Each structure stands twice: as C-alpha cells, then as structure tokens.
Structure 1
Amino acid sequence: MNQKEKFSKDDGAEKVDESQYRSLIGCLMKVIGAQLYNSLNDPDDSVRDRDGHGSHTASTAAGNKIKGASFYGVAEGSARGGVPSARIAVYKVCFQSGCADADILAAFDDAISDGVDIISVSLGKRSAPNLNEDSLAIGSFHAMAKGILTLNSAGNGGPNTYSVGSVAPWMVSVAASTTDRQIITKVVLGNGTTLAGSSINTFVLNGTEFPLVYGKDATRTCDEYEAQLCSGDCLERSLVEGKIILCRSITGDRDAHEAGAVGSISQEFDVPSIVPFPISTLNEEEFRMIETYYISTKNPKANILKSESTKDSSAPVVASFSSRGPNTIIPEILKPDITAPGVDILAAYSPVAPVTDEAEDKRSVKYTILSGTSMSCPHVAGIAAYIKTFHPDWSPSAIQSALITTAWPMNGTTYDDGELAFGSGHVDPVKAVSPGLVYEALKADYINMMCSMGYDTKTVRLVSGDNSSCPKDTKGSPKDLNYPSMAVKVEETKSFKVEFPRTVTNFGSANSTYKATVINTNSHIKVQVNPDILSFKLEKEKKSFVVTVVGQGLDSIEAPIAAASLVWSDGTHSVRSPIVAYIDRNIG
C-alpha cells in the first residue's frame, strides 16, 4: 500500500483529497522524527503538540514557505522558516507540569545520537544554576563535543538584570527584539480621537460607537481603587452590559467580559498578546487622554477596532520581557550573546492548541502570533543551520563567533543595561555566512575555563561526562577563554586594568591584512589592542593579540556600565567584538 492509499483507507481516518494528501506528505518529509520524554508522568502522554509552542518554534527555524499566512487576517503575507529546506526532528520534554532535567538530558543524548546538525532549545531556567547543575549546559556541552551547536532562549525575566538563565559559553544565548512590523489595536473615541493601543484583536464590534464606562463608576460595592482596576466581583452587570469598560489594570479584562462588557480598554502598554474578546491596552499618556475625555464628556463613547500592522521605524529594540545580564555564574562571559526577532512573530500553530487561556475561546488556527525569547531563539537556529550549509566543517564555536561578530550594532545608550540586554547586537544572517575571522574554542578550552572558575575534577566531569580533569596548577581566569566578546566585573569606584588574550582564525582571503579599530565613546574606559595589525598568508591561519582595558572607576549613578567595541577590518569584512565593564549591582 502506498502512502496515499494508507491515508485514504486506514480505519477511522477521513478520506483526504489531493491537496490534503500533498500537505500530509509534505509534513512527513519536513518532520522526520518526534520523540516523547515524560518522566513526570504528565497526563498528556502524547508526542503531539497540544499547546502550540513547539509548532511555532519549529516552523520559525525551518518551516516551508506558505503564501497567505495570517492570524485571522492580521500580519498577512508569506511566511517561511529560516531554512525551509531543512528537516526537523522533534524532542518533546515539556508539559504543563514542567520540564524534567532527566528528560532534557535524554533528549540531548538522542538528538546527538540521531546526528542532528543544530539544536534549538526554546526553554530554560528562571535563574542560572551552576554549570554542573544545569541540564541545558550539560546537554549542550555533550553536543558541542560532538560538533553540534546549541542555541537557547535567554529567558523572559526582563527587564530585571541578572535574569538571563542561559549562560554556558558553548551555547548561544538569544535575546528578543522587535521587528519593523508593529501590531496595534486602535481605540476611536466619540470625539473622533484615535489612540493606538496594543493587543492582537481579531474581533469586529457590531457598531461604530458604544457607551464608555469607567470601572470606578460601575460598582456599588467596592472602593474606588479596586473598582477602577475592574477587580474581582466589583463590576455590576447592569452598569457594564453592552458597554466598553475602562480599567486601570489589564487583569480586570476577564472580569469586565464576564460582567457583560463588549470590550475593555486598560492601562498596561507593552508587548501585545492575543485577546479573547475586544481589548486594547494603552500607555500611561494615552490612558490619561481617554480619562480626560471620559470626565469631560456627558455621554462618552468609544470603539475598539480590529488589529492592524504598521511600520515601526524604531526597530529593532530589545523587548522589555527579554532577560538581561550580567552572567551570574561566569561574570567574564557576556550573556545574552545576541538578539533576534521575538515580538509579534507569526508562525505555525497546532490546531488542537488553545488560542488563549479562556475556556470559552474555541478558535482553532494553523498560524498564530507569539512573543518571547522562545520565538527569537529559532530565528538564530535557522541562521546557524544556514551558515552550516556553507561551512559544514565549521566547529560550533566558529558558527557562534560568526553570529556574534557580524551582528548589527545597537545603541547601548538607549538601555540602562546596554550590551547586557542585547549582547553583540541584532543578528545579521547575510554577513554571518562570511565573517572573515572567527574566534574558536574547543572542548579542552571550556574544560580549562571551568577549572579556572574553581571547579575541581569531580565537578568538571559532571558537565563533561567523561574523564576530563583539572591540572594541579590551573592558571588564568574565564576572561582568557577565546570568546568573541569580552566582559569584566569590576569594583565600584576602583581603578582597574584587565587583559583579554584572544586568537582569531582566518576564514577570509588567504592573503589578507586586518587592522584593529576601537569604537569607544565612553570616557570611563580606554582600550588598547596589541598588535593592532594582523597579516595572514594562509586560510585557517591563526593570529593572537591582547586587548587591554583600563578604567579609573565606575559608579552606580553615572556609569554602572561602560562599553566599547573592537573591530578588525580588511576592507571587506568587519569583525566586531563588544567590550563591557560593569559593576556588581542591580544596574536596571
């Protein structure tokens, strides 16, 4: 029986037409394996994606090109993954009850055994554990030793500093940033004023204007503070039904809907999310405008429109939720490494997965819009796979270096935590294919780094899984690891001098000369490079240099962080490494 006959004749299966058959075969050719790990004994004992997260991330990395994809018409266009020609092997380790370390490690082992080229992991810890206690660090170390690069979400703990959970230097930690497509949900007031709110609303209200009521005026039982938040049982149906309600907090939207409101407007402007009925959230300034209108108008009215896409000229900007450094485990390793699109990402979705967490929302979709570092990670994973098609023999660290040193520079002065939010900058897939020079680190280098951290042989072996050992006279520190970025934690107001030894390998033209340029607008540090000219005569030739960073002292008020960049250029390639000095405090 051929595949087409099988899908049309299996007991209990619905007969499929030619287009469905092609879709099924295309899926089978794309997803070449799927395994389940469930040591938690979660009731959802199925490899099928029931919450949509896996489908979304996998299609972002390697989904086929699809025309006319959208979420109910929002963000409509052609959608495709980073490498549509790639195939996907799925390893399901997470459930509503969590992600077990044993399952994560088992999945890594199987992926390595299966011979995957790139591992994309859109999960992580709320805070960074020690390397020997971190299943992601351990699993990705084993992958690195077998020539496989792991990419991991930085985390969604921002804007708090010290929130990045992905800190091991042998995997790429990916932050999340915006794209130039912004999704807005307009609020139109009765006086014609239009405000651009935030949400992903697919509903169209049946009418052009609806009475507007403030939560504090829709209760007879709660005090003004609770009522304006639309909290709990404050809202009275007779005062809310058929109206749009104004709430100080987005947490009151559900209560407003249950009380009979046709829509709600709240004050918590941030990354938009899909809503189960017409909702728009406004920033503080716009919320005050609507308050003024409400107070000054005898019969205030409003409407909430269906979401639409608009151009965002400020992009890319790091998302507020994206986890920040510093690296709490290895302060000398800058994390996150890089940022990539992670806001309002349209990608595939499981049709059995709920669109929102509202039980009454019965919508089923093939595509949806999500935000998170889970969404940014597969973007970079796709780019890493793309690089590997050009350079199949490159080590994981060479691909990692290419991603980091070719990233688009971002303006660190727009963030309190600068490079601790975005690492080297926004990923550039085109330039990453030909970086010119790369910073390589191999298994032995990472072992030496762990030994320099104070890990003994027993602890190192918990990570390496083999008989690696630390020498009795371990020298150096983690700053000596041949990493594409450079970071140092310094004492507040104390002068400092730090040297970073580095080695680059030439993957550009055989005969080439690179000159060093230091980009530094920060008066608190000075950077020198010795030598500042590197001449190569061979491909894969290596050259070493030392970067010296000197500072008179950073302080918590004026300069908690100081950053510069080292750029090696041969006139064609620009190989850029961020240099960051920071004090040990809550910078944000």
Structure 2
Amino acid sequence: MSHHQNILQEVIESSSVENSLVRSYGRSFNGFAAKLTESERDKLIGMEGVVSVFPNTVYKLLTTRSYEFMGLGDKSKHIPEVETNTIVGVIDGGIWPESKSFSDQGIGPIPKKWKGTCAGGKNFTCNKKVIGARHYVQESARDNEAHGTHTASTAAGNKVKGVSVNGVATGTARGGVPLGRLAIYKVCEPAGCNAAGMMAAFDDAIADGVDVITISIGGGVTKVDIDPVAIGSFHAMQKGIVTTAAAGNDGPKLGSVANLAPWIVSVAAGSTDRKFVTNVVDGNGKMIPGRSINDFDLKAKKYPLAYGKTASNKCTEELARGCASGCLNTVEGKIVVCDVPDNVTEPQVAGAVGVIIHVTDVDTPGLGPIPVSDLDDTNYAAFRSYVLSAPNPQGTILKSETVKDENAPIVPTFSARGPNTLFSDILKPDITAPGVNILAAYSPVAQTALPGQSIDYYFMTGTSMATPHVAGVAAYVKTFHPDWSASAVKSAIMTTAWEMNASKNAEAEFAYGSGYVNPSVAVDPGLVYEIAEEDYLNMLCALDYSPKGISTVAGGTFTCSEKSKIQMKDLNCPSMAAKVSASSSSDITFSRTVTNVGKKGSTYKAKVSGDPKLSIMVEPETLSFKSPGEKKSFTVTVSGKSLLWFGQTGHTM
C-alpha cells in the first residue's frame, strides 16, 4: 500500500492521497483503485512501471441481464399496440398473481380475440395482465412451488424496477413482451405433471386464442403419437401457435435431449455475460477464486476450517469429508469444507458459519442459507492441499462480486444434448437461450435457500428458465409479423441466432443447436423455411408410423401415399443433419425451399465454412427474389471420406 501511495503522491494535484486511494491490491496482482481527475490519470499513464490505467466500469447485477445480453433491451423497437394484443399461454405449475410482474399497470383493455376465462379457482383473481387461468390439479391455479411464476414472468412479465434478492442483482425485471398478456394453465403439482392435464391445457389454450405456448415440462423420450406435448403442440401449430419446450436437464450425456418433435422449438440453456465470483481466502492470505451468489459479509474475518476429522468425531473420515448427513457434530463457529457439490443444509444445521464445496459444474452457482463458495476441480484441490498441510487451517468467504464473463455464452453441463434419438436426421435442440441464474418472479410461500425469508424474486437455473425466454422472443417476433406461421417464426429465430464457439462448448451443435437466440435480428430474417402440416405427417409416413398414430397427431384421418412420403433429412427445417456411419463415403444431399420475407429485389449468396476434409456445395449459389412471398429452392451436397458435419443455415444479403 505504501508503494501505491508513493505513486499517487506524484500525480495527485489537489486532494490528499488518503482521499484519493480507494483500494489497494497486493495478493494476486499489483495495483490500486483511485479517484483521479483526467489530468491526474494522464500523468499516471506516463509513469514508468505503470502497465495500464482504465476506468472503473460498473457491471450491474441486472435482473433482466438475460434480455439485455440477447440484445432485447429498453431501446429495442417495440410495437405497443400489437404487443398488448399478444397472448402467451404458460402450461406449468400455476402463478402467484399478486407478484408485481403481473401488474396490469399501463395495459389497456383485454384483447377482443381472447376467448378464454378466469377459472383460477380458490383465492385467485385475474386482471388485464393475467387475463385467463385454469387449473387441472389441486383447487386453484395459484402457484406454491414458484416454477410456473418464474417462467411466466420471464416470458411476459411487466416491467418492475428495483428487483433484487437481498440486494443481489438489483435491476428492472421484465419479460420478452412486457405489455403482452398471460394465460395460465396449471398442470403440475409436487407429485408431477400428468399427461391428461397437459393435453387438456393445450386444448384449452388453443381454443382460448393464445399466440405462443411455453411449456417447461419433459419426460422420457417417446414416440410423438403418444407424447402429450408433441400432440398438443402439433394442434397448436395447425392454428399458427408457436410452442417452446425445454430440452431437458439430463446433460452432458449424448442423446439426452427431450421434446424432439420437429414442430416444437426445443430450447437448451446457455449462460450470459454476468458472472458471480465468490473468492475464498486461506490463512496465508492467498485468494482462491470460487463461484456462488453470496450476499453475506463475513468482513474478511478468518474462521477455523472444519474438514474430515475436524468436522466429525462420530463418522468415518470418508463420510466426514463428504459432509454426510448426521456427521457434522464439531463444526459450530467454523467454515466447513465438503468434497461434495450439493450439501449446504447439513453444515448450516450443525452451526457452521459458512461452507466451501467442491463442484464440477461451476456454471450454476446459487444462493445459500449461509455463505457458500463453489470451487472447481483445480481450485478445490489447491484449497484442500492447504487445509491438509496447515497445522491450524483458517479461512474466510468473501462477498460476491460480479464480473463480465468473457467466455459467454456457453452451454452448462446440465443442459441436455443431442443427437435426436427419435428423428435422427433432425437437429435437436433447436436454439439456446439464457438459463443460468435467472432472476424472476417467485412465490413468497415457496421454499428457497434462504429459510425463514419471504422472497418475491429469486434465482432459478435450468432449461425451464431458457424456454420462456424463447417464448418471449417468439411473441416479440409475432408482434411484427402476426400472420406468420409457427414454422416461419421458428425459422426466423433459428437462422438469425448468434454463432456459438464450438471450442468452448462440448458437443457443439448437439448442445446448442443453431446457436444463441438473437431477438432484434429475428424480426427481419430475410428468408424463412416454412413447413406445412402435411409435410410433418408425410415424414411420419416415411417412418412407418401407423395410420392410427398419425391420425392421433393430426387430429383427424390422414392417408399416407408412397408418392408423398418425405425423408427426414428433406423436411424443410432451418437446420440440416444426417446420420451416417463414420466410414461412409457417399454424398449427402439436402433439399430446401425458402420464402422471401424481405424486400423485393433481394439477392442472397451462399457462404460455406466447415471441415476442409469435406466438400460442401450449394446449388444455386445465388438466389434472387423479385417480391416478398416468392419461394425458391436450393440443394446442399456434402461429400468426403468422413462425413462428420452438421449444418445450420443463416442468411447474408
């Protein structure tokens, strides 16, 4: 610190060094923060030994950093008079209607197209925001578990200023269409979500007149003719309603992705550029980086560390190091170190002042009932080495800081992966959206990691949180294009996605699909890939689905013919995939037809990138359109000794 004060003494012009110096750093790097005038800054830059001087940029812990990160912020173009007539149906666990996110302030009369009802049951009232509610389980559409409330506010919650969790992530909460309406369909209870209720919810939502349906529910992969989400969403698609559904949280196992029907928008979870850092300091003053959302302030006081034998005198060493249930009997007033990733409650109950845990997926840190820091493999090994070698190990957990995550966006390990086990030549998931540490409306009676506190907004993580983001984007796109088909909206979202870095994301397209959703560009994709409902059914014909099964999906009799069957790889999807053997040397050709939704006289040129071992040919290379609505076709042929390639389409005009 004295060295830093000496440097400042040479540049300070009017105020004292004590008033100027904000913070001195000396553990992991050598530097300081200070209040300087522009001329003082310029002097400092010119001093020998000064590497860099940069402004103190404030990274706010914003509630809707997810929408900001996607590029859909307050300055984005909106069409209020159309947005207020847009209805999002939420098939989930109900809603907490009193949340400020569901206030109807600033929202006009209920749209005339709404044909639903407010049948929320016991102790439930609708308004001009939550215009409809139905429940298929329990006695009310009221949400006591928080999942449905969280997803509904993420999709179409009104703007609420000053939202935080005990001061963490303060900002303005909002959904994708803040002026949009919500229709709630409660199908889930603590025991689960039954298929009968889900089918009824789809049925009602379609009849009620919703524009978009979001459903963060999934189960085992099953054929589409016996899958309530696949069947319900097909009927929705027939009416022009977009359905977004969670890809599932069973990653990183390959082939774990759920909601595989090609007419569904299946959503993977991704990170944003907001990163919570909760550092740990050992007894020697060494700082070890960790992750969590920790609003507790231990004021840098050092506490004894309890690990293994020092944490328990009644369990084996192995059980004690894992902080097993009932083992921690000598940890009061100490910070407990655990070899396991998910045991916070045990140390808290035993009287610990904090807990340091070993995690393998540090993309998903959360709040805890006491100070918590999650250390990854490398950092945990370093900290554990100190604990085992020090005669009297001590340490502390610092309050969380927020930094910009330069690696974002990435897909966390929990997000389910392809390939598509039901339709092998159709890429799933379709798209990636924010799903890590999403702060949104919460049920105050629901359980949290902060026992005894009533929480109105809280963090949740999962593909369940990513899905309503895409529903909000789909609703946003439909405000610009109310007459677009469900396949056109899906295509616009997929073809305009941000390209993600395959080197940072294990399994690449199997993890993130076409990329990270990009709302502001999705409203003007130029070209769309449209799919008629009979095309989906003709694909099922080619897969030898029974006439009864196809009729179940179609909602009426459908007759297959050899002439009309469509191979999976030739379904007019915005992505291209084909399952081949590693030794295959045959050419693979994809046929696609695009519709111009851009300006008349538009011309599009193909741009190809990929493995240099493969030959990828697009014919024709250029498509010119005289007018909007015009359709043109092209083919993509892939050839090479090893056909390990996955295609995704985008457009450059």
Change (3 A) 1:567 1:453: same
Would the aligned equivalents of 1:215 and 1:245 in 2 still touch at CA under 8 Å? no
1:253-303, CA deviations, whole angstroms, 9 ceiling, x for partnerless residues? Answer: 332223222211111142112222222221111112212222333322222
2:628 aligns with: 539
Matches within 5 A, 1:481-500: 481-500=571-590
Which residue of structure 2 lines up, in the alignment, with residue 444 of structure 1?
534
1:466 to 537, 542, 556: 556
Aligned residues of 1:482 and 1:501 also touching (Cα < 8 A) = yes
In 1: Cα distance, 2:650 partner to 2:176 partner: 27
The 3 A distance-change label for structure 1 pair 388 and 311 is same
1:569 alignment partner AA: T
Residue in 2 that maps onto 1:121 = 215
Classify the secondary structure of the residue corresponding to 2:388: helix
Change (3 A) 1:24 1:452: closer
Mapped to 2, the partners of 1:506 and 1:24 lie a distance apart of 38
By how many angstroms is 1:472 displaced?
Answer: 4.6
TM-score scaled by structure 1?
0.87
> CA 1:129/1:352 → structure 2, altered by over 3 Å: closer, same or farther?
same
3-state SS of 1:354 partner: coil
Instruction: Select 2:319's aligned residue among 222, 226, 235.
Output: 226
Between the aligned partners of 1:24 and 1:384, the Cα distance in structure 2 is 21
Query: 1:320–1:263: structure 2 CA closer, same or farther, 3 Å change rule?
Result: same
Q: Does 1:110 align with 2:193?
A: no
Distance 2:103 2:270 in 1: 32
Is this contact kept in 2: 1:398–1:439, CA < 8 A? yes
Given the alignment, which residue of 372, 383, 388 partners 1:279?
A: 372
C-alpha distance in 2, partners of 1:408/1:251? Answer: 33
Q: 1:24 to 1:405 in 2, by over 3 A?
A: closer
Q: Provide the residue aligned with 1:417 in structure 2.
A: 507
Alpha-carbon distance between aligned partners in 1 of 2:531 and 2:149, rounded to the nearest angstrom: 33
Q: Does residue 34 of the first structure (1) align with residue 133 of the second (2)?
A: yes
1:356-405 CA distance string (max 9 Å, x none) = 3x8xx121111111111111111111111111011111000000000000
3-state SS of 1:160 partner:
coil
What SS does the corresponding residue of 1:28 show, helix, strand or coil?
coil
Q: TM-score, normalised by structure 2?
A: 0.78
- SS of 1:519's equivalent in the other structure is coil
Residues of 1 paired with 2:582 and 2:172: CA distance? 51
1:434 alignment partner, one of 518, 524, 537: 524
From the superposition, tell whether residues 474 and 511 of structure 1 become closer, same or farther in structure 2 (CA, over 3 Å): closer
Displacement of 1:163 in angstroms is 0.7
Matching residue of 1:367: 457
Contact 1:64/1:80, CA 8 A, preserved across alignment: yes
Q: Which amino acid aligns with 1:323?
A: A
Shift of 1:437: 0.4
Listed one character per residue, the Cα deviations across residues 193-235 of structure 1 (whole Å, up to 9, x for unaligned) are 2223222333334772211121243333333222211213333
Does 2:546 correspond to 1:456? yes
Among 297, 307, 312, the residue aligned to 1:204: 297
Residue range with higher mean Cα deviation, 167-176 or 273-282: 273-282
**Further displaced range: 305-314 or 393-402:** 305-314
Asked if 1:266 corresponds to 2:357, the answer is yes
Maintained 8 Å contact 1:380/1:427: yes
Deviation, structure 1 residue 25: 6.5
> Which of residues 396, 399, 421 in structure 2 aligns to 1:303?
396
2:338 alignment partner in structure 1: 247
Return closer, same or farther for 1:367/1:308 CA change in 2, 3 Å cut-off: farther
Counterpart among 382, 387, 390 of residue 477 in structure 2: 387
Q: In 2, distance between residues paired with 1:511 and 1:207?
A: 65
Structure 1 counterpart of 2:340, which letter?
Answer: S
| Match among 181, 184, 198 for residue 90 of structure 1 | 184
Is the 1:354–1:363 contact (alpha carbons within 8 Å) kept by the matching residues of 2?
no
User: 557, 569, 588: which one pairs with 2:652?
Assistant: 569
1:51 aligns with 2:145: yes
Structure-1 residue corresponding to 2:88: none
Q: What residue identity is the alignment partner of 1:156?
A: N
The corresponding residue for 1:9 is none
Post-superposition shift, 1:344? 1.0
* In 2, Cα distance between equivalents of 1:147 and 1:202: 45
Change (3 A) 1:568 1:77: closer
- CA–CA separation in structure 2 for the residues paired with 1:476 and 1:34: 39
1:549 maps to a residue whose letter is: V
Identity of aligned residues (%): 51
Could you say which structure has the higher strand fraction?
A: 1
Structure 1 unaligned blocks of 5 or more: 1-18, 39-43, 555-560, 571-588
Distance in 2 between residues matched to 1:491 and 1:421, nearest whole Å: 21
Q: 1:479: which partner in 2?
A: 569
Deviation string for 1:427-466 (max 9, x for gaps)? 0001100000000001111111111111132110111111
1:123-142, Cα deviation, whole Å (9 max, x unpaired) = 111x3211111110000000
Q: Is the 1:518–1:564 Cα contact (8 Å) retained in structure 2?
A: no
* Counterpart position of 1:376: 466
Distance 2:636 2:158 in 1: 44
**1:211 to 1:437, Cα distance in 2 relative to 1, 3 A:** same
Aligned mate of 1:513, from 603, 625, 647: 603
